[in-house]
Amino acid sequence: MESSIPVDFSLLNWSINSTVTRGLKNIQNTCFINSTLQCLLYTPPIQNIPHTCSKKYCTLSLLKELFASDSKVPEKFHQLIYTKTKKFTKDQQEDAHETLRFLIEHIYPKTIGDFIFGGTLQSSVRCKKCSYESVVLEDFLDLSLEVTHFTLEDCLKNFCKKETLDGNNKCYCSSCKKSTEAYKQFLISATPIVLTFHLKRFGNNGIKDKSNMTFPEKLDLKQFTKLRRKEEYELYAVLVHTGRSCKAGHYYCYIKGPDSLWYLANDLIISKSDLKKVLNDRSAYIIFYKKITEKGLPKKRRKYA
C-alpha cells in the first residue's frame, strides 16, 4: 500500500521544541556508532515521517524508539551493526561513513531511505566533433567529495567541472561510429530533501588527509544542478573525526536541536555549542544539510511505500 506525503516544511522542520540532553555511552570504541546515530536522531524527517515496521532490525523504527527513550546505550543498534554484517568488528574503531550507509540501507521499506536521502546524478558525455550527447542517470544517498580545495563550494565545483576525454580516454560516439574526444560532466538532476556530503579523507592505505575545509551554514546548489535553479539548504549536523586513520582516533558530532540551538555530542557528554564553533571545526568528515526550498523535488520523490 502506498502512502503519499507532501514534501513540505512539516517534514523538514521540528514540531517540538526540546533540548538535546541525552548522550550515548562509548562501549569499547563505539564512538563511530554514537556520532552517526546522533546525526540521524536529529534529522527532522526521520522523526516526522509516520512509520510502522514489523522487522526486528529497521533503522527507522529503532531511531524513533531510541529518540523517545532515555536509554544511553543503543543496544539494538549494536546488535544490528555487529550481527547483520561481517563488515564491522566488535570492539574495533570503524568508519562512520560506512556505518551511515549501512544504517540507511536498513531503513524499511527501502523507499523511505531514498525518499529522505536520495537524489539523482546525471553523467553526460558530449562528442567534441558532432556534439552527440549520451546521458546516464545514477541515484545517490550521499555525495563523496575529494578534499582538494579549501571550501565545500570549491570541492563541489571540482566534482561538477567539465572534463575532457582525450588520448587513451577517448569515448566511443554512437553518431560518429568511432572513438572521439569528448566532454564529460556530472550535474545533480534531482536534489534530495536531506543532502549529505562525505569528505574523502581516507585513502586506500587508511591514512587521513587532514586538510582544512570550510563549509557554509546555507548552501545553494543552483550552479551544480541540471536545471540551474535555486536549491537552498541549511546545515543541521556535522560529524567530525580526529586522529590519523579511519581505524583509530575519535568521532564526535555537532547537531542542531529541535530548539534551533547547536550542541556538541561527544559520547555521553552533551554540551551547548554555537554556529561559529561548528563552522570553525575544520576536521569535518560528514556534513548534513536539509532543504529549505520546495523546488527540485520531482513528483516521483513525493511518495514512499
Q: Quick one: which of 161, 156, 157, 153 has its CA closest to 184?
A: 161
Longest Cα separation, the chain: 65
Phi (first) and psi of residue 155, to 5 degrees:
-65, -40
Residue with cell 546525471: 122
Catalytic residue among 149, 160, 171, 250: 250
Task: Report the SS3 class of residue 165.
Answer: strand
93 residue type, one letter: Q
Residue with cell 555511552: 25
What's the chain's Rg over C-alpha atoms? Answer: 20
Q: What's the rounded Cα separation, in Å, for the pair 186 and 162?
A: 8
Contacts of 62 (CB under 8 A, 6+ apart): 74, 76, 77, 80
- 225 Cα distance to chain centroid: 17
What is the grid cell recorded at 264? 556538541
176 an active-site residue? Answer: no
157 residue type, one letter: K
37 residue type, one letter: L
Catalytic residue among 31, 39, 58, 253: 31
250 an active-site residue? Answer: yes
Q: Quick one: which of 236, 242, 271 has its CA closest to 41?
A: 236
Q: What's the rounded Cα separation, in Å, for the pair 53 and 101?
A: 20
DSSP state of 128: T
Total length of the chain: 305
Q: What's the rounded Cα separation, in Å, for the pair 291 and 233?
A: 4
Residues catalogued as catalytic: 31, 250
